[in-house]
Structure 1
Amino acid sequence: MATQQLTVRPERDTDAGSALTNVRAHQRENGHSHALWILAVLAVTLVVGLVVSLLAPGAAALAHPAQAAALPHQVSAAVGPEADPAAPDAAPEDAAPTVSTPVTWGVRPADTVHGTERPNYAYALAPGTGLDDGIVVSNYTEGPLTFRVYAADGFMTEAGELDLLPAGEESQALGSWVTFQSQEVTVEGGDSVVVPFTLTVPADATPGDYAAGVVSSLLVENAQGVSVDRRLGSRMHVRVAGDLVPALAVDDVAVTYDGTLNPFAAGDATVTFTVTNDGNTRLAAGESVRVAGLWGAGAQGSPRVELPEMLPGTSVTRTVTVDGVWPLGRLTADVRVAAEVVTAIGATAAEAVPAVAPATATATTLAVPWGALALLVLLVGAVVLWRRTARRRRARDERKVADAVAQALKERDEQPVA
């Protein structure tokens, strides 16, 4: 029997290999395109974040105009005009007669052995001693005016300014040490009168600084027919000799953080605290605030701000905003207040005063970078989604390869034998 030789076409052997090569090439192209898509999304995110961070400061400046700078600290100043509304029946019984026409007058310390052209009264006295001085009351109107003159204790307002007790409230300290020969003085139009007074420091007065005001008062009837007690005076400071113990304290420190959803922009930290003059001298103090993350990371500070002059025993609450603070988790606010003892201008005796130890305090808060965390979650989610999609695509492509190989083998087997 004759033998028959079987031959298979060579091109059929390459069908499976060609199919596999085409599928893998398609897989590589899809992988490259998805990688480029991820890079494009990240690039757009970075560009948008940078643009927003650059525009945010300008928008904030338009929305919140800068506040005016604080005025320089004034160590001495005259007590200015002050209107104290009061009902007619609330006026003191010994008040000066009420006038209904517009009036203008002025006061200043008299030129005496204690000084000339003084901005205010300032003395250094020992307990049990005293002195005589005077106040000049000038009437700038045409007709005569009758003023009530007296002294009143001074105190600090919540805004840190010196004010005087109302006319109907009795003074307990320096205001009660000043006496006038007469409680009223009449000044002719266009004239000035020197009103003498006596200052006597009690023998049991404790050492330290005291504040008051020498006041001229006039009841003026306004357009509504209401009597208003208008007061004009000059500030008085007395330093009683003895042990001067200046002391400063910072309490009730709190810090809050106001961030932004923009992961490329910093936020603001608001620090509130209370400064108290715990000593017995007047203090001229200045504050500085610093906010930082762990180990001092991203530290930002505010420029030194001079506080109003503080009388002994008074307190002032401050609020400071520190810009450019990054949300670095745990933030620490450091408050430092340094002060010097105020030297009384025009004091009759110079006295050495001790230095004031700076006062410091801290507070902490948690600043969570929500914007950065949200961006990180989006990036991680994008990577996870990309990997999962790539894995599914790879499995699908592998199935396609297997199907193509199987189909190629099947077609080869079905070819007739030559």
Structure 2
Amino acid sequence: MTSLTGHAARAALALLLCAFVMTPAAGAAERTGSAADWTARPAAGGAGTGTGKDDGRPYFYLEGAPGTVLQDRLAVTNPGRTPVTVRLRGADAYNAEDGDFALRGSENSTGTGAWLRLAADTVTVPARTRADVPFSVTVPTTAAPGDHPGAIVAESAGRSVGVRVHLRVGGPTLAALTVEDVTVSGRTIHYTLVNRGNTALAPRLAVGADGVFGTLLRREARTLPVELLPGQRVKLTEPWRDVPALDSVTVRLRVTAEGGAHSEAAASAVLVPWVPVTGGALLVLAATVLGAYGYRHRQRRPPGDASPRSQPTSEERHLVQAGADT
């Protein structure tokens, strides 16, 4: 990692621009790939993590105090037989609502994506060649301490690749998170995680549930498949396949992360098998309606009113009349 300021920084970047290199891709003689197989990744021998063993770096790691200029190189490799033109830009990173790592557009980037400058916004890489593109990140003097996640976005031939830039600004760091909005719906526990600190976190989750007659669920802490970035909120779910059909339960979630971050939350729910209960309720309702209708119908008859069968039929009236004539 290199740290420069003022004119020295501009001079060093100019030298890097002059050193913008294009070298044959390793093993090019044996490759038969197309231009669409281009790749973008941290260049070998770049700033890296300072270990000197950065040939396989999965992302850029840069660290410096406010006001410094940090530099590294992006390698764009074209193993195909025809040239490929790749567009490059910086972008801020954030968590999508479900926790996925996402990137903002250029116009919406105000952090690392806005502080990052590439030696070229577009690079044309000849067949079977690698181009190393220098870039710099100028950390503002007003930048807050902590992690500022971003990426370099490379686009060409209908493909878009984001190479992560993990930038840490020097100063006090705070690891803090909360778990909120815990609910139970069907066979799923829903909850929300919020990173309230200034460092990226790999949260660990432990789950427990108790019912009227004892323990229903116990899951030891495990690392969730999400990197929770500073200031971000994500909505996650936890499956519960053996949820009881009828019970009153209390679900408890506990989350932890490195740096001493931890939080707990609980929620209560009454679990009812709604299909049979609803069917039974409809039967009771139907019986109640029929009973009420019959009762009201009987109440409407005037006092002393005979039933329809107690009235004489026409044949009976004829016999009565014949008896009277005799």
TM-score, normalised by the number of residues in structure 2 = 0.66
SS in 1 for 2:110: coil
Alignment-derived partner of residue 290 in structure 1: 208
What is the alpha-carbon distance in structure 2 between the residues aligned to residue 150 and residue 370 of structure 1? 54
How many residues align? The count is 237
- Aligned counterpart for 2:252 among listed residues 323, 327, 334: 334
Alignment-derived partner of residue 214 in structure 1: 152
Alignment-derived partner of residue 176 in structure 1: 114
Alignment-derived partner of residue 287 in structure 2: none
Structure 1 residue 174, shift from structure 2 partner = 0.5
What is the alpha-carbon distance in structure 1 between the residues aligned to residue 174 and residue 253 of structure 2? 22
Alignment-derived partner of residue 299 in structure 1: 216
Is the contact made by 2:154 and 2:161 (CA closer than 8 Å) also made in structure 1? yes
The one-character-per-residue Cα deviations of 1:182-236 (angstroms, maximum 9, x if unpaired) are: 2221211111111111111111000111111112222x3xxxxxxx4x2223111
Are residue 251 (structure 1) and residue 180 (structure 2) matched?
A: yes
Are residue 364 (structure 1) and residue 268 (structure 2) matched?
A: yes
What is the alpha-carbon distance in structure 2 between the residues aligned to residue 150 and residue 275 of structure 1? 30
Distance 1:138 1:240, change over 3 A: same
Structure 1 residue 102, shift from structure 2 partner = 6.1
Are residue 109 (structure 1) and residue 42 (structure 2) matched?
A: yes
- Aligned counterpart for 1:234 among listed residues 150, 160, 163: 163
More strand by share: 2
Is the contact made by 1:301 and 1:322 (CA closer than 8 Å) also made in structure 2? no
Larger radius of gyration: 1
Alignment-derived partner of residue 99 in structure 2: 160
Alignment-derived partner of residue 270 in structure 1: 188
Are residue 187 (structure 1) and residue 187 (structure 2) matched?
A: no
Are residue 147 (structure 1) and residue 86 (structure 2) matched?
A: yes
Relative CO higher for 1 or 2, CA cutoff 8 Å, sep ≥ 6?
A: 1
Alignment-derived partner of residue 89 in structure 1: none
- Aligned counterpart for 2:74 among listed residues 116, 135, 139: 135
What is the alpha-carbon distance in structure 2 between the residues aligned to residue 325 and residue 187 of structure 1? 57
Is the contact made by 1:300 and 1:323 (CA closer than 8 Å) also made in structure 2? no
For 1:19-168, what aligned pairs fall within 5 Å after superposition?
103-112=36-45, 114-115=47-48, 116-117=54-55, 118-166=57-105
What is the alpha-carbon distance in structure 1 between the residues aligned to residue 127 and residue 188 of structure 2? 54
SS in 2 for 1:103: helix
The one-character-per-residue Cα deviations of 1:53-84 (angstroms, maximum 9, x if unpaired) are: xxxxxxxxxxxxxxxxxxxxxxxxxxxxxxxx
Distance 1:107 1:327, change over 3 A: closer
Paired letter, 2:153:
V
What is the alpha-carbon distance in structure 2 between the residues aligned to residue 240 and residue 146 of structure 1? 33
SS in 1 for 2:215: coil
Alignment-derived partner of residue 293 in structure 2: none
For 1:395-410, what aligned pairs fall within 5 Å after superposition?
none
More helix by share: 1
What is the alpha-carbon distance in structure 2 between the residues aligned to residue 250 and residue 273 of structure 1? 7
For 1:314-393, what aligned pairs fall within 5 Å after superposition?
314-326=232-244, 329-340=247-258, 354-356=259-261, 358-367=262-271
Distance 1:368 1:155, change over 3 A: closer
TM-score, normalised by the number of residues in structure 1 = 0.52
The one-character-per-residue Cα deviations of 1:152-201 (angstroms, maximum 9, x if unpaired) are: 111112332212224x5342110111112322212111111111111111
Distance 1:325 1:108, change over 3 A: closer
Are residue 201 (structure 1) and residue 139 (structure 2) matched?
A: yes
Give structure 1 regions of 4+ aligned residues with deviation exceeding 6 angstroms: none
Unaligned runs of 5+ in 2: 1-33, 49-53, 278-326
